[in-house]
């Protein structure tokens, strides 16, 4: 891998590098300032090609990046960062995306684990609905787009409460005849990777591969423990601990859906995101459903504090006065 770009360097006469905000096996992600649009910050996703590649192979990789970057730039969804530009410099390709402020869900999970607690299930389900919407949008493109690297660190929670699926590093386009092409060679993160993805680009992955990673991500967020890798589970099927054995507060419905998504064979998983989402939360918003299920406060509940007792007493007094006035007017 070549040396990361130093802060202060300007790429394409427009993007001034501020700092590295992420690194991977094929390049870095930089926070940059768009000097043409004062005050705008963006994220530059870098893809590096091996300089030893034959010239025709390198040209093929660059052409492929161009085709797929054009498709990514057309995506427009509130839970996906907008790709606004793409370019090449010195055997490096760059996607320019919106910079997403906030913490990633891995950081929030680690903080919960440090406090010896768990993330709230209803909050995680709300995030899941947003992620499901983004994935459904990607899967419904023509050709369908697979993410192939869903994990807590690739999900950022913005200050406004939006979840953003931020990394398109292993994105894959599915051609109609089921031939596939990818922006990056890679297999994702092992903890969240289904068996069929271990073949790299020779294996057959489809929307059910993203569903597996989705389920593995939920398992990790709700238990503070990563699921056992698919390869180990293939050899020892009993090695996956059911989520509720780790966090008893998880609902049975959530546990069943997670374990369904984590089936080793794709045919045994939910077959699309909508099926997965309905199993997880039904057709409505999980937060709204949860609130509707809460019991309504009784009179005894309203009298739990001195100020509540005063307010209730005043309301009763006003009711009595109103009744007296009504009776006197009728005499």
Residues belonging to the active site: 149
Treating both helix axes as pointing N-terminal to C-terminal, what angle do 207-223 and 252-261 enclose, rounded to 10 degrees?
140
Residues 198 and 234: their CA atoms lie apart, in Å, by 13
Residues 308 and 78: their CA atoms lie apart, in Å, by 42
Q: How many CA atoms lie within 13 A of 173 on its CB side?
A: 17
Q: What is the dihedral of CA 302, 305, 307, 309, to 10 degrees?
A: 50
Integer CA distances (angstroms), 42 to 38, 81, 96, 113, in order: 12, 10, 7, 31
Let me know how many helices (H) and strands (E) the chain has, helices first: 11, 12
Treating both helix axes as pointing N-terminal to C-terminal, what angle do 252-261 and 273-281 enclose, rounded to 10 degrees?
160
**Residue 4 φ then ψ, to 5°:** -60, 155
Would you say the C-alpha torsion 4, 61, 96, 24 has a positive or negative sign? negative
The CA-based diameter of the chain, rounded to the nearest angstrom, is 105
Report the DSSP pairing between strands 155-157 and 15-24. Answer: unpaired
């Amino acid at each position: 891998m070549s040396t990361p770009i130093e802060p202060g360097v300007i790429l394409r006469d427009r993007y001034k590098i501020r700092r590295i905000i992420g690194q991977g096996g094929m390049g870095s992600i930089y926070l940059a300032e768009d000097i043409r649009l004062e005050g705008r910050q963006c994220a530059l996703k870098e893809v590096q090609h091996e300089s030893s590649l034959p010239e025709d192979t390198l040209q093929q990789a660059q052409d492929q990046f161009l085709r797929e970057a054009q498709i990514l730039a057309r995506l427009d969804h509130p839970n996906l960062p907008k790709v606004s530009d793409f370019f090449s410099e010195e055997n490096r390709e760059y996607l320019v995306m919106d910079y997403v402020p906030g913490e990633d869900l891995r950081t929030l999970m680690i903080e919960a684990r440090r406090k010896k607690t768990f993330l709230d299930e209803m909050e995680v389900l709300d995030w899941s609905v947003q992620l499901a919407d983004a994935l459904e949008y990607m899967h419904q493109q023509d050709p369908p787009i697979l993410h192939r690297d869903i994990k807590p660190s690739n999900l950022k929670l913005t200050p406004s409460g939006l979840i953003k699926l931020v990394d398109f590093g292993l994105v894959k386009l599915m051609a109609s005849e089921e031939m596939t092409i990818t922006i990056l060679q890679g297999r994702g993160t092992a903890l969240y990777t289904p068996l069929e993805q271990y073949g790299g680009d020779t294996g057959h992955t489809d929307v059910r591969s993203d569903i597996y990673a989705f389920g593995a991500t939920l398992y990790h967020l709700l238990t503070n423990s990563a699921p056992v890798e698919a390869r180990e589970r293939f050899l020892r099927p009993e090695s996956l601990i059911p989520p509720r054995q780790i966090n008893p507060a998880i609902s049975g419905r959530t546990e069943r859906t997670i374990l369904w998504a984590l089936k080793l064979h794709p045919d045994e998983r939910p077959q699309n995101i909508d099926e997965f989402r309905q199993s997880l939360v039904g057709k409505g918003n999980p937060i709204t459903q949860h609130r509707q299920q809460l019991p309504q406060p009784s009179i005894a509940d309203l009298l739990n504090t001195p100020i509540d007792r005063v307010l209730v007493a005043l309301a009763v007094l006003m009711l009595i006065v109103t009744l007296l006035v009504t009776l006197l007017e009728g005499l």
